[in-house]
Chain A
């Protein structure tokens, strides 16, 4: 039985919850489920959709250009992920100190994080430009003839990786720094009394206790790497000669340039499935290396 009080309470819950719940269902859950449906259609938005079963998936999975995009995405991941994590960890360790001025330095490393990818991509395109670029000028000073960077198929992906590491280092560093600052000081004191040197303390206390934070940034960074798009779109548009074509760039091209909504949706689901497999694998594998304090 729902009394007068019951209806009032239901109204109250609706009042507080619906402003967030309705858009979330309408603009996240519905599109997500809708995407599965679209991936089974041939649809250019001009004519009515036709059901084609799994054709889009078989088409995508046998498309050599998609394979190239997938390989390039993995190339990006393999270059970017270890670099950004190692540099972020080193900077976090160095910044984890109560010395004066550390807050200022922390802000400096964080500046690229708050900057739009379009700006960062344009800036690095200029810095790495083969004509008038700062990096090749500096390399020239020490007698190295710099490569063509983003204009050279062999150097285009490394250019994107360099810009990405520069942009995202601060974000990862900050999460690791928060993890470092949560490690209780008394553990270090105890180790010192036992005669452990600085390197030993880092290896036996800092790194093991930091592993949950390292896992968190690794998973987050990996998921982000699979979806790499902005920097590729602005720096190279997938070129030169397809050298930096990545999955998301192909999704956008298929949907909004060629009008193949079904193909684009199927591609995004294949990518999502791959992300899921990698994430689950990482969460399973974590038991071997992540240390949880009780």
Chain B
């Protein structure tokens, strides 16, 4: 690795640090506002550390029966965990079929999988809604989870990972009389843990942040996910900033925790998709 001149290192670090502040500060501002009383909010100059710290935003958030925030958090968690679990299972199985089983039409089916990635969700949203109505799934967890249970992108990532696994172990297992199910469970899955984690984290975040689909298919407040709940709250409490940003803070903390915990898998997954593209 080349060594940079010292002034160049300082300059580079300074620019990057100033930029990073632009990206982190709004989050601090959000937390600060959520802890500032409505009366203090519009006083000048604005204070980063509220004085006094005021919890009324949170109290109104959790104390108001018309804002079932705990329910929204639980709904979002349930849906995101179910979607992540189902996507990992269905995609890993399909990726195994695409890499270890020979059958007629294998490539055609795989290309069809990939082709569905090209079609934007907006083209499907109206008929998908009609389908859910037809199946009687409106206002249910089923409507939030089932259409999302398979992901072509996850199949693609896992297929790449399975292709790169060394085959020797599997082959000796087959010689010893093991079947495909055993090889899948005992060799292929354990060896692909990092990619499985990447897929799980991606699916979880995608589902946690999903807005358009819940907006379309759920209207009952007790079935809403967190982003949808927040958005309806912002319609009713238009400029009640400390309440709104208390809600935003509550909803952003879990995802930031997931991100800090799983950063490696997220960054790796994005890098993989970019390089393969």
**Contact between A179 and B113 (Cβ–Cβ < 8 Å)?**
no
CA distance A227 to B118 in the complex (A): 13
CA distance A170 to B20 in the complex (A): 10
Q: If A20-B94, A105-B20 touch, does A28 touch B122 (CB 8 Å cutoff)?
A: no
Interface status of A294 (Cβ within 8 A of chain B): no
CB distance from A268 to the nearest CB of B (A): 5
CA distance A35 to B122 in the complex (A): 10
Q: If A111-B256, A126-B241 touch, does A255 touch B230 (CB 8 Å cutoff)?
A: no
**Contact between A122 and B123 (Cβ–Cβ < 8 Å)?**
no
Q: Nearest B residue to A91 by beta-carbon distance?
A: B19
CB < 8 Å neighbour of A21 from B26, B30, B94: B94
**Contact between B94 and A19 (Cβ–Cβ < 8 Å)?**
yes
Chain B interface secondary structure, helix, strand, loop or mixed?
Answer: helix
CB distance from B30 to the nearest CB of A (A): 5
The residues in A between 109 and 147 inclusive whose CB is less than 8 angstroms from any CB of B are: 109-112, 114-119, 122-124, 126-127, 129, 131-132, 134, 137
**Contact between B44 and A118 (Cβ–Cβ < 8 Å)?**
no
CB < 8 Å neighbour of B2 from A166, A188, A229: A188
**Contact between B29 and A261 (Cβ–Cβ < 8 Å)?**
no
**Contact between B252 and A116 (Cβ–Cβ < 8 Å)?**
yes
**Contact between A13 and B270 (Cβ–Cβ < 8 Å)?**
no
Interface status of B124 (Cβ within 8 A of chain A): yes
**Contact between A119 and B259 (Cβ–Cβ < 8 Å)?**
no
**Contact between B12 and A118 (Cβ–Cβ < 8 Å)?**
no
**Contact between A32 and B234 (Cβ–Cβ < 8 Å)?**
no
**Contact between B127 and A30 (Cβ–Cβ < 8 Å)?**
yes
B252 surroundings in chain A (CB, below 8 A): 115-116, 119
CB distance from B83 to the nearest CB of A (A): 11
Chain A interface secondary structure, helix, strand, loop or mixed?
Answer: helix
**Contact between B23 and A20 (Cβ–Cβ < 8 Å)?**
no
A24 surroundings in chain B (CB, below 8 A): 113, 116, 150, 152
Q: Which of A59-67, A74-82, A269-277 contacts B (4 or more CB under 8 A)?
A: A269-277
CA distance A255 to B89 in the complex (A): 34
CB distance from B82 to the nearest CB of A (A): 13
Q: Which of A95-103, A153-161, A285-293 contacts B (4 or more CB under 8 A)?
A: A95-103
**Contact between B126 and A13 (Cβ–Cβ < 8 Å)?**
no
CB distance from B264 to the nearest CB of A (A): 10
Q: If A105-B20, A115-B252 touch, does A252 touch B215 (CB 8 Å cutoff)?
A: yes
**Contact between A19 and B90 (Cβ–Cβ < 8 Å)?**
yes
Best-buried of A17, A189, A230 by chain B (most CB within 10 Å): A17
The residues in B between 227 and 277 inclusive whose CB is less than 8 angstroms from any CB of A are: 227-228, 230-231, 234, 239, 241, 244-245, 248, 251-252, 255-256, 258-260, 263, 266-267, 270-271, 273-275, 277
CA distance A114 to B112 in the complex (A): 29
CA distance A38 to B131 in the complex (A): 12
Interface status of A185 (Cβ within 8 A of chain B): yes
**Contact between A123 and B26 (Cβ–Cβ < 8 Å)?**
yes
The residues in B between 145 and 194 inclusive whose CB is less than 8 angstroms from any CB of A are: 146-150, 152, 155, 180-181, 184
B256 surroundings in chain A (CB, below 8 A): 111, 114-115
CB distance from A6 to the nearest CB of B (A): 11
Interface status of B140 (Cβ within 8 A of chain A): no
CA distance A45 to B46 in the complex (A): 51
> Per-residue CB proximity of B11-23 to A under 8 Å, as 1/0?
0110111011011
CA distance A132 to B36 in the complex (A): 12
The residues in A between 213 and 241 inclusive whose CB is less than 8 angstroms from any CB of B are: 213, 216-217, 220, 223, 226-227, 229-230, 233-234
Q: List 14 A-B contacts (CB under 8 A).
A: A15-B93, A19-B93, A28-B119, A38-B130, A102-B16, A108-B23, A109-B23, A116-B252, A119-B248, A127-B26, A137-B46, A175-B270, A265-B127, A272-B119
- Nearest 4 A/B pairs, CB to CB: A175-B274, A178-B271, A34-B127, A20-B94
Beyond A20-B155, A23-B150, A132-B46, 19 additional contacts (C-beta under 8 Å) are A10-B103, A20-B150, A31-B131, A34-B127, A34-B130, A38-B126, A94-B16, A105-B16, A110-B259, A115-B209, A117-B209, A124-B26, A126-B30, A132-B42, A132-B241, A166-B23, A234-B234, A255-B126, A272-B119
